Structure 1
Amino acid sequence: MKRLADLIATVCGVGYLRPAPGTWGSLAALPLGWLVHAIGGFPLLLIAIAATFLAGLWATRIMTRNSADHDPSEIVIDEVAGQLIALAPLSYATWSMGLDITRLWPGWVAAFLLFRLFDIGKPWLVGWADRRGDPLGVMLDDVIAGVFAALGVMLLAGLWHGMMGW
């Protein structure tokens, strides 16, 4: 059970990469997000987000049981869940319009950078969730950072396409 939890929590060992394992976890989510979208579009991405969250919560509980460290740096499944949420607006837009998701590559860059900004900076609700000090907080802070990043992606897209006319 512990080995499976380690594989899930570290995203098959990505969490052991140094420096900045959280950034590596977020980067690992990008090809995963593309693959999930390519296979099943936005609906499958939503299922993947829910599955990642639930599997991550289970794995984090196992990995942090009887440990003083409630959020070890090698646990990056939370970054994957948050990054997938940040990509959701791009997936929805391309899925609903029948476009190739790679056409929105600037949105991918924005989703990545915004997610890392919110995850590292831990503003407002992100910091509140992180301070919980339990497995739910480990997952929830990245979910909230992902929601903030997704909102930022939508705002930037609106500005770019609406005000700039592109």
Structure 2
Amino acid sequence: MQNTLLKSAAQAVATVAGAGYLRPAPGTWGSAVAVGLAILIHQIGGFAALATATVLVFFVGWWATKQVTRGAEDHDPSEVVIDEVAGQWIALLVTSYGAHRMSADLLDLYPGVIAGFIFFRLFDITKPNLVGWADRRGDALGVMLDDVIAGVYAAIATGILAVLFHVVL
């Protein structure tokens, strides 16, 4: 009984309450859900809450992914989208921090939110250098790390765009 409950909880976490079953492009759906959740978390607790939630979702997601993929042939099934949540939230941290520093609503910085989403999906899909390395690990940590690294790349790209727009232009 306890093992079944644990497996069900892991499945719910790994699929982000079923968002991973949406088709087509479950990773994009997972990222879209992540953006909505990030906005909500930021609205409730600001940048600190989003940063804390990002760390928590990484570790809980790693656990859930390990449970769901244990003994499976596919180390990264498409319905597992908790990794997209972690990566997408990392991509949005730059914009969340900017809103925090300016005492602005996160939605006032919507171009940064959109850029973070687009850059994250681009890096997650194309898997450049370290993203691809993490993906090729073939384990639950690799599933999480490829999106974390894609999120870092997206955060950097979003930050560069913000500097170009606000400082250079």
* Interval of TM-score (by shorter of Structure 1 and Structure 2): over 0.9
In structure 2, distance between residues paired with 1:107 and 1:88: 10
Amino acid at match of 2:136: R
Residue 96 of structure 2 is aligned to residue 91 of structure 1: yes
| Cα distance, 1:28 vs structure 2 | 0.2
* C-alpha displacement of 1:24: 0.2
Q: For residue 140 of structure 1, what is the amino acid of its counterpart?
A: L
2:167 aligns with 162
Whole-Å Cα distance in 2 between the matches of residues 46 and 159 of structure 1?
24
Q: In structure 2, what is the equivalent of residue 127 of structure 1?
A: 132
After superposition, the C-alpha distances for 1:64-117 in whole angstroms (9 at most, x for unaligned) are: 001111000000000011000000011111112211111111111100000000
Equivalent position of 2:72 in the other structure? 67
Compute the RMSD of aligned alpha carbons.
0.6
Match of 1:49 in 2: 54
Q: Normalization by structure 2: what TM-score?
A: 0.96
Structure 1's consecutive aligned runs of 4 or more residues displaced over 4 angstroms after TM superposition are none
- 1 CA distance for matches of 2:56 and 2:25? 25
Q: What's 2:34 paired with?
A: 29
1:146 aligns with 2:155: no
Between the aligned partners of 1:82 and 1:94, the Cα distance in structure 2 is: 19
Tell me the distance in 1 between the aligned counterparts of 2:109 and 2:100: 12
Name the structure 1 match of 2:23: 18
Shift of 1:23: 0.2
Residue 163 of structure 1: CA displacement?
A: 1.5
Secondary structure, aligned partner of 1:12: coil
Letter in 1 for 2:47: F
Unaligned runs of 5+ residues in structure 2 are 1-5
